[in-house]
Structure 1
């Protein structure tokens, strides 16, 4: 009887340890962007222009980008895997500033985002999303995920997330989170942009990896001002028959 009890205690310890390990590590995402789909949603473009664009580019309209999320149960950091210069067709450019820090323990967010020709430092309390969990599941990166939907009312986007409740951290890619599990796939407007986890690696995460640098350079604003800037820019761009998403994140 004593041996059986010891075996049960060891099993419980192993299970608890395994679950604990799922609260820190890193996730590599692939972000796939279909820009002709974005253009097809612009109200000022004629159907003829949209059809011509699809005919010209066909299925060769996607761009891919790797992103990295480092996390534990208290904090997370999401950005490019490393700062580097991209090169394509003889042209080269540096990735625009995009860093997202989340402090789950204290309910705070810090984002460094390049947009509208400037770099903004957005500091505020963690934002809540009006998620609706749906009765659908699918596998992403080896994890069974549940579906949840919400809406970005400023950009007019439908947001679909697939989250793994056995990774009990309320984080995710592209500024989204707040679900009872890690978001492993994020779909904007039914495929315009899809950010999908390609590798989930659990490991000890150091404080330095998640620490916000003391000298983040950017114009400081809060989340409400950030939303106001985007809303005004989108309205003015559509009025001027310009694609607003050339200068703000989609």
Structure 2
């Protein structure tokens, strides 16, 4: 009888050990993301201050439901403290999309999470900028809601950025790196999904690959004139100050400020 009880205890402890091993899911790897922009909505907002028949003519090409959304494909390489987010070199979606989306696929976002620093390539109006700045501090509110993304159950969090933009994010603590696509970070695990409901933009992981990123995969961008984000926006706004809100909105859409 003692042998049987001992056997059950061993089996129980073995199962606990398996569950403990599963709890640490991934400390480095590659995540494929899809970003979707509602082109018609975004263009309507960007051009709302413009005058002339050309505005309606330009919007007409995106009025059909099948043309509403533009999808771009991205890769996030990560290890414990570094993330590097860039366009997927195998799927560059620059055709048949407006400038503010097609230019964005050239951007790269590198984050040093331990030192809370970011280095970003930003391409706007055929200018290349190298932004070196601190990581944006996002004040998240955790919730009990969950959603399955790329085969993983993720937890929901909400936040406001730029004081008014509502953000919904889904993260997993099975990947302890506290990063995510674009500028999004700061949750207790990797962010696998983000939506800006009122701006009609979303980022969702489609595939997670277990691998050790190479030095090249985690190499920070180096080309471009060095600016802080504030300095770059001021540099861009000066020659465009007579263009009203359209220019400002275009810049902010590209940078996700």
Range into which the TM-score falls when normalised by the shorter chain = 0.7 to 0.9
From the two aligned structures, give the one with the greater strand fraction.
1
Which position in structure 2 is the counterpart of 1:58?
64
Q: 1:190 to 1:248 in 2, by over 3 A?
A: closer
Q: Which structure shows the higher helix fraction? A: 2
Q: CA RMSD in A?
A: 3.6
User: Deviations for 1:142-171, whole angstroms, at most 9, x for unmatched residues?
Assistant: 2222222223328x5322211122222111
The more displaced of 101-110 and 62-71 is 101-110
What is the alpha-carbon distance in structure 1 between the residues aligned to residue 104 and residue 247 of structure 2? 23
Map of 2:45 onto structure 1? 41
**2:99 is matched with which residue?**
none
Residues 34-92 of structure 1: per-residue CA shift (max 9 Å, x gap): 1111134355379xx88x95897131221111100011111111101217765747xxx
What SS is found at the alignment partner of 1:224? helix
Distance 2:238 2:139 in 1: 23
SS of equivalent to 2:244: helix
Q: Which residue of 2 aligns with 1:220?
A: 226
Segments of 5+ residues of structure 1 without an aligned counterpart are none
- Aligned match for 1:210, one of 218, 223, 227: 218
Contact 1:101–1:212 (8 Å) recurs in 2: yes
2:114 is paired with a residue whose SS is coil
| 2:81 aligned residue | 74
Q: Using the TM superposition, name which of 26-35 and 127-136 deviates more.
A: 127-136
Deviates more, 1:32-41 or 1:223-232: 223-232
1:146 aligned onto 2:155: yes
**Matched length:** 241
Matched with 1:32 is 36
Q: Note if 1:245 corresponds to 2:250.
A: yes
Question: Structure 2 vs 1, CA of residues 27 and 8 (structure 1 numbering), >3 Å: closer, same or farther?
Answer: same
CA distance in structure 2 between the aligned counterparts of 1:202 and 1:102, rounded to whole angstroms: 20
What secondary structure, in the 3-state scheme, does the structure 1 residue paired with 2:143 have?
strand
Mapped to 2, the partners of 1:233 and 1:179 lie a distance apart of 38
Kindly indicate whether residue 191 of structure 2 is the aligned counterpart of residue 176 of structure 1: no
Distance change in 2, residues 1:159/1:220 (3 Å): same
The answer for the alignment partner of 2:128 in structure 1 is 119
Cα-to-partner distance string for 1:110-168 (whole Å, 9 max, x where unaligned):
111112431111112322112222342222222222222223328x5322211122222
Deviation at 1:221, TM superposition (A): 1.0
TM-score in terms of structure 2 length: 0.75
Are 1:238 and 1:244, in contact at CA under 8 Å, matched by a contact in 2? Answer: no
Are 1:166 and 2:174 matched, yes or no? yes
Contact 1:30 1:66 in 2 (8 A): yes
Q: What do the CA deviations read for 1:184-217 (whole angstroms, capped 9, x no partner)?
A: 111123461111111112223334421326xx11
**Whole-Å Cα distance in 1 between the matches of residues 235 and 140 of structure 2?**
24
How far has the Cα of 1:96 moved from its partner? 4.9
